[in-house]
Amino acid sequence: MTATQSADVKAQRLSSADYADNFSDIHPPLTPHEALVEADRCYFCYDAPCMTACPTSIDIPMFIRKIQAGNPVGAAKTIFDQNILGGMCARVCPTETLCEEVCVREVAEGKPVKIGLLQRYATDTFMEREQPHPFTRAAATGKKIAVVGAGPAGLSCAHRLASLGHDVTIYEAREKAGGLNEYGIAAYKTTNDFAQDEVGFILEVGGIAIETGKALGRDITLDQLPQDFDAVFLGLGLPGVNALGLEGESAAGVIDAVDFIGVLRQAEDLSLLEVGRRIVVIGGGMTAIDAAVQSKLLGAEEVTIAYRRGQEHMNASLYEQELAQTHGVVIRHWLAPRSLHVTDGAVSAITLEKTALDAAGKLSGTGELVTLEADQVFKAIGQTPDSGPLAGSVELDKGRIRVSDDRRTSHPKIWAGGDCVAGGEDLTVVSVEDGKIAAQSIHKALMA
Amino acid sequence: MADLSTNFIGIKSPNPFWLASAPPTDKAYNVERAFEAGWGGVVWKTLGEAGPPVVNVNGPRYGAIWGPDRRLLGLNNIELITDRDLEVNLREIAEVKRRWPDRAMVVSIMVPCEEQSWKAILPRVEDTGADGIELNFGCPHGMSERGMGAAVGQVPEYIQMVAEWCKHYSKMPVIVKLTPNITDIRYPARAAKAGGADAVSLINTISSIVSVDLDNFAPVPTIDGKGSHGGYCGPAVKPIALNMVAEIARDGETRGLPISGIGGVQTWRDAAEFIALGCGTVQVCTAAMTYGFKIVQEMTQGLSDWMDEKGYATIADFQGRAVPNVTDWQYLNLNYITKARIDQDLCIKCGRCHIACEDTSHQAITSMVDGVRHFEVMDDECVGCNLCVNVCPVDDCITMVEMTVGSDPRTGKPIDPRYANWTTHPNNPMAKEAAE
Ligand SMILES: Cc1cc2nc3c(=O)[nH]c(=O)nc-3n(C[C@H](O)[C@H](O)[C@H](O)COP(=O)(O)OP(=O)(O)OC[C@H]3O[C@@H](n4cnc5c(N)ncnc54)[C@H](O)[C@@H]3O)c2cc1C
Ligand SMILES: Cc1cc2nc3c(=O)[nH]c(=O)nc-3n(C[C@H](O)[C@H](O)[C@H](O)COP(=O)(O)O)c2cc1C
Ligand code: SF4
Ligand code: SF4
Ligand code: SF4
C-alpha cells in the first residue's frame, strides 16, 4: 500500500514510560502472601464444579491445596499433568466463563476463588525455580508422528506424544512456534516473551523437533506426510479472516485486527508502532476487544467497537467488555458496516446502518445511518479456516475439519484439533485439550 | 444493661475478664494499658524469689499453629516466670493497685517448694495491697526442671502442703493454678481444696512441641539448633480446658469450689461457656497477645448484649447452668434420634458433606440426584453423627433434627419417647449381670 495517508496515523503518541506501563501485566501476579490468602479460600470441593468446567480437567482443588500446604512446585505439576500449557492458560483463559464461573464461592458470594491467578502463581513459581521438566518420556516406541502447526493444539499434542515415547516433528509455517500465543494473544496478557519461554519449557521433554518456515501445502503435503509418518496431527488454526465485503476495503487504514495484533506482538519497540487517532473496530469477540484495547493503549484517542447485534450476543464475555470500557473504549451495539469513505487512498470514515431483529428474529437494517470518522478501521469479524493445504484429504464441516470425539478425521492416519476443527470453542485451553485427546488416541491406535 | 461485676472469693472486679499471668501482665506499663482498655483485673506475671531473677532465652520463645488466613490457633512458649527484679515488680504492683482500686490485682507466685521461701515472699506481696495470690503450679517448661511449677502441680501432696503454708502465712485469698499436664485433674483440685485454697484456676499451658523445623530438624522455637518442649495455649486448648473445668465443677469432692477459667478465651462466647460450666471469672492471655488489649471491649459488650437478650441480669444468673448437663456417656439417652437436614437454599454445593459421609462415615448423603449435583441426606442411612454439620463451610446449612414420631428409617424401629441409657441396654453385659 503506497497511498499517502492524509489520515492521522502515527507513532509515538505517548511517552516511553507510558508504553511500558500500558503493556505491563494486566493482572499482576499474586505475591506469595496473596496466594496463601487466596488458596485458603478454596473449600477443596468434592467432584469440584471448577474442575468439571475446566476444559482440560485440571485437578483444581488439589493444586490449590498444594499451594496452601506450601508446595507450589507440586501444585504446578498437578496443573501440567492435565495441561502442559497451564502457564499460558492461567494468563489467557476467560476464567469468568470457565472454572471461576462455577466456583461454589462465586455461586455463594459472587467472589470466586481466583483460580487463574493461583494457577499462574504455581506455574510461574515452577518455571522461576527452574525445576526439572515434570514429565519423563516413556521408553521409545519407534513411532514417528508429524504435527502441523505449533499453536497450543500442536504443542500440546506433540508434548503428550513425546511423553508417551513417540518421536515428533512439528512443521510450522511461521518463523516462531506458539501460534496465536505468540502472534495473537493481547500483549498485556503475556508479557516478557512468556510464549517463547513456554515453548522452550514444553520442548524440554525431549523427542520433539520443530521445523519452522515449513508450510503444509507449500513445503510439505498431506499426500506425503501419512507415508513418511505413522500418524499426522493437524493444528492449523484459522489462518484467514472474514472480509467486510465493502468497497474500499483495500484502502490504507483498513486492517485485519489479527494482523494488527500480530505486528504489535512482534514489535521490538512499541513506540514506533503507528496507530490512528480515531479507530473503529468492527466485531464483537475477543479479537475486537483486544484490538480496541491495545490501540487505546498505544495512544489512540477515540476507539469505538461497532457490533451488529446486542450486548448479550457478543462473543466477548461481560468481563472482557467491561475491560474495554474501563480502558475508555466505546462499545456500540446494533450497528452493521455499510460503506467505507476513502480520502487520498486512505480510509477516513465508515458508515454503519442501525440494525434490529425483526419479528422472525432475523437481523436487518433499519435504514438509519451513522457515520463515524476513522483513521483506521479494524476488521475483527471472525477468522476463517484455510482448506487449501488440506487438498481434499479430510472431510470438512462448514470449512473446518470434521473430527470424532477422539479428534480423528475421516483419514485413518490423520487427527486434528484446535481452532481448525468443527465444533470447537476457539479458546487456547480447548485447543490444548484437543491436542491432548488426539495424542492419547494416536497412542492407542499406534500401540494397538 | 447487664451487670458484669463479679466478686470472686472476695476479689471484686467490674467484669469477669482478667488477664492471665503472662507477658501482658509483666509490668506496670502493660497493666495500666490493659486497665485503660477495660480489663476487669490481672494476675500479675509470676514472681520468683528475691535475689537475681531468672533469665530467659535470648532467641525466639514462641511457636504457633495457624488456621486459614494465618489465623493463630495455638501458641507455644518457652518463657519462664518474670525475669525482672522482685523489688521492681512489688513496687509497681503497689502503685498500679493504688491507681486502679476497682480492678482485681492478683499476684502470681512461684518459689521453691520450701516453707521458708513461701514464708518470706507472702508478706511482701501482701504489703502491696494486692487482692489475692495465685500459686503457679502449672508452668510446664524450664521452671519444672527446677522442681517448681508443674513439678509441684503434678504431686497433689505438694499442692496441699503449699496451699496450707499460704493460708497460714497470709490473709490473702489463695487461688491455686492447675497444670493440665496430668491424667486426672480432679486429684490436684481436691488437694488444693484440702489445703484450704479458696479457688482454683485452670488451665496453665499444655506441654507441647508445636512444630519441627524441617531444614535443621529441630523443634520450633529453635535456639541455636535445639528446642525444648514449651507450653501450649490459645483457641486450640479451649476444649481441653472446658473439660477439666467441668470435671472439677461436677466432682463430688470439689463441687462448689470457685474456679477461674483459663484457656483459649477469644470472645465473649468462650467466656460465657466457661462461666456456664461454673467459673466465676475467666483469664485471657493469647487473645490479648494476638490482638492487643482492645479485644476486651468485644468481650464485655458481647457478654452484656447476650445477657440482655437472654434476660440474665448478673453473671450469677447463668453461672454453672451447664454443670448439671455434663454427664457420663453411659447416661446418655440412646432413644434420642436425630437426622441431618440440609437447607437447600443455603447449600453452596461444595460436596464436602457428601465426601465426608461417603468416605469416612455412613454413606448417607447423595451427590447426584436425577443427574443433577444435589446433596441430600438419606434418612435410612444417617446415624445422626453430626460430622457433615462440622465439615460444611456454611453456618447453619446443615442442622440435626430430632425425630419424635414414627420410626427410624435406618433401623425400622419405632421412636421410643422414653429415656433409656446404656446401663440398662440389652447389649450391655454389665446390665445383664446386674439384672441377674
Ligand atoms: C486476537 C486473538 C485473541 C485471542 N485471545 C484469546 C484469549 O485471551 N484467550 C483464549 O483462550 N483464546 C484466545 N484466542 C483464541 C486462541 O488464541 C485460539 O483458540 C488458539 O490459539 C487456537 O490454537 P490452535 O493451536 O488451534 O491454533 P493457532 O494458535 O492459530 O496455531 C496454529 C498454528 O498453525 C500454523 N499454521 C497454519 N497453517 C499452517 C500450514 N499450512 N502449515 C504449517 N503451519 C501452519 C500457524 O502459523 C500457527 O502457528 C484469541 C484469538 C485471537 C485471534
Ligand atoms: C508467653 C507466656 C508466658 C506465660 N507465663 C506464665 C507465667 O509466668 N505464669 C503463669 O501462671 N502462667 C503463664 N502462662 C500461661 C497463661 O497464664 C495461661 O494460663 C495460658 O496461656 C492459657 O490461656 P490462653 O489460652 O488465654 O493463652 C504463660 C503463657 C504464655 C503464652
Ligand atoms: S469450586 Fe471453588 S472452592 Fe470449590 S474446589 Fe473449585 S476453586 Fe475450590
Ligand atoms: S449425620 Fe453423620 S451419618 Fe448422617 S448424613 Fe451427616 S455425616 Fe452422614
Ligand atoms: S457441605 Fe454444606 S454447602 Fe457443601 S454441599 Fe454439603 S450442605 Fe451444601
Q: What is the pLDDT of residues A141-199, one digit of tens each?
A: 999 999 999 999 999 999 999 999 999 999 999 999 999 999 999 998 999 999 999 99
For the Cβ of A435 lying below 6 angstroms from any atom of ligand 1, the answer is no
Quick check: ipTM above 0.90? no
Q: A183 C-alpha to center of ligand 1: Å?
A: 8
Burial class (CB in 10 A: 0-12, 13-18, 19+), B108: buried
DSSP state of A375: S
Distance (Å) from the alpha carbon of B432 to chain A's nearest alpha carbon:
46
Kindly state the cell numbers that stand for B340.
441431618
Question: How many CB pairs (< 8 A) connect A and B?
Answer: 35
DSSP strand pairing (B132-136 vs B104-109): parallel
**B285: CB partners within 8 A, 6+ apart:** B19, B20, B22, B23, B24, B233, B262
Instruction: Answer yes or no: is pLDDT of A216 > 80.
Output: yes
The pLDDT assigned to B179 comes to: 95
- Rounded to an integer, what distance in angstroms lies between the CA atom of residue A4 and that of residue A275? 15
The DSSP element (H or E) to which B269 belongs, if any, is helix B268-276
Indicate the DSSP class of residue A220. Answer: B
User: Do the Cβ atoms of B349 and A49 come within 8 Å?
Assistant: yes
**Residues of chain A contacting residue B394, judged by C-beta atoms under 8 Å apart:** 108
Q: Which residues contact A90 (CB under 8 A, 6 or more apart)?
A: A116, A117, A119, A120, A123
Summarize the confidence of residues A118-126 as an average pLDDT.
Answer: 97
Q: What is the mean pLDDT of residues A206-218?
A: 97
Distance from CA of B403 to the nearest CA of A (A): 29
Measured in Å, residue B378 CA sits from the centre of ligand 4 at 9
Q: How confident is the model at residue A410 (pLDDT cuts 50, 70, 90)?
A: very high
Q: Which domains does chain A have, with CATH numbers?
A: 9-23+241-379 (3.50.50.60), 32-128 (1.10.1060.10), 144-239+385-447 (3.50.50.60)
What's the pLDDT at B433? 65
Q: Please choose, from the candidates B142, B118, B205, B135, the residue with its C-alpha nearest in 3D space to the C-alpha of residue B177.
A: B135
Q: Is B166 helix (H, G, I), strand (E, B) or coil?
A: helix
Distance from CA of B41 to the nearest CA of A (A): 36
pLDDT of residue B434: 61
B367 close contact with A: CB closer than 8 A: yes
Q: Choose among B50, B40, B48: nearest CA to B20.
A: B40
- In the numeric block, the cell 510450522 is attached to A172
d(CA B313, CA B315): 7
**Contact residues on chain A for B393, CB-CB shorter than 8 A:** 43
Mean pLDDT of A76-94: 97
Supply the pTM of this predicted model. 0.87
Best mutation target among A36, A38, A46 (most B Cβ atoms within 10 Å) is A46
Across the interface, which of A36, A40, A107 has its CB nearest the CB of B348? Answer: A107
| CA–CA distances in Å: residue A285 to residues A257, A281, A288, A313, A374 | 11, 11, 5, 10, 20
Torsional class of A221: left (φ above 0), alpha (ψ -120 to 50), beta (otherwise): beta
Provide CB contacts within 8 A for A373, sequence distance 6+.
A278, A348, A349
Chain A residues contacting B via beta carbons under 8 Å: 36-37, 40-41, 43-49, 104-105, 107-108
Share the mean pLDDT of chain A. Answer: 94
Q: Sign of dihedral through CA atoms A398, A404, A406, A408? A: negative
Q: What is the DSSP letter of A283?
A: -
Shortest-distance Cα residue to atom 4 of ligand 2: B22
- Burial B246-274, CB ≥16 within 10 A → b, else e: bbbbbbeebeebbbbbbbbbbebebbbbb
List beta partners, residue A73.
none
- Rounded mean pLDDT of A67-72? 94
Determine the Cα–Cα distance for residues B10 and B6; give it in Å rounded to an integer.
9
The verdict on a CB contact (< 8 Å) between B355 and A107 is no
Closest Cα to residue B42, out of B140, B175, B206? B175
- φ/ψ (deg, to 5) at B62: -120, 150
Residue A271's identity, in one-letter code, is S
Q: Say yes or no to pLDDT of A4 above 50.
A: no
| Contact yes or no for A170/A210 (Cβ under 8 A) | yes
B409 prior amide bond cis, ω within 30: no
Q: Which of B71, B345, B350 to mutate to test the interface with A (most CBs of A within 10 A)?
A: B350
Alpha-carbon gap, residue A107 to A99, rounded angstroms: 12
B68 and A CB contact within 8 Å: yes
The answer to whether the CB atoms of B349 and A37 lie below 8 A apart is no
Q: Distance between CA A440 and CA A160 in Å, rounded?
A: 8
Question: What are the C-alpha distances in Å from A354 to residues A316, A334, A337?
Answer: 21, 6, 9
Cα–Cα dist A22/B64, whole Å: 43
| From B347, B387, B399, mutation site for ligand 4 pocket: most ligand atoms within 8 A of C-beta | B387
B260: helix, coil or strand?
Answer: strand
Burial of A267 (0-12, 13-18, 19+ CB in 10 A): middle
What pLDDT score does A5 carry? Answer: 47
- How far B66 CA lies from chain A's nearest CA (Å)? 11
Cβ contacts of residue A358 below 8 Å, gap of 6+? A364
CA angle A132, A183, A157 (to 5 degrees): 45
Number of Cβ within 10 Å of residue B101's Cβ equals 10
**Digitized pLDDT (tens) for each residue of chain B, 436 residues in all:** 899 999 999 999 999 999 999 999 999 999 999 999 999 999 999 999 999 999 989 889 999 999 988 899 999 999 999 999 999 999 999 999 999 999 999 999 999 989 999 999 999 999 999 999 999 987 777 777 877 777 888 999 999 999 999 999 999 999 999 999 999 999 999 999 999 999 999 999 999 999 999 999 999 999 999 999 999 999 999 999 999 999 999 999 999 999 999 999 999 999 999 999 999 999 999 999 999 999 999 999 999 999 999 999 999 999 999 999 999 999 999 999 999 999 999 999 999 999 999 999 999 999 999 999 999 999 999 999 999 999 999 999 999 999 999 999 999 999 999 999 999 999 999 876 665 5
b/e code B403-414 from CB counts within 10 Å (16+ = b): eeeeebebeeee
pLDDT of res. B1: 86
Residue A401: pLDDT over 90: yes
| Amino acid of residue B257 | L
In the three-class reduction of DSSP (H, G, I as helix; E, B as strand; rest coil), residue B417 is classed as coil
For residues A302 and A297, what is the distance between their CA atoms, to the nearest angstrom? 11
User: All 3 cell numbers of residue A237?
Assistant: 488454526
- Are the beta carbons of A45 and B352 separated by less than 8 Å? yes
Instruction: Determine, for residues A37 and B69 on separate chains, whether the beta-carbon distance falls below 8 Å.
Output: yes
Strands (E), B192-257: 199-202, 206-208, 211-213, 218-220, 230-233
Please, which pLDDT band fits residue A6 given cuts at 50, 70 and 90? low
- Cell 471484686 maps to which residue? B12
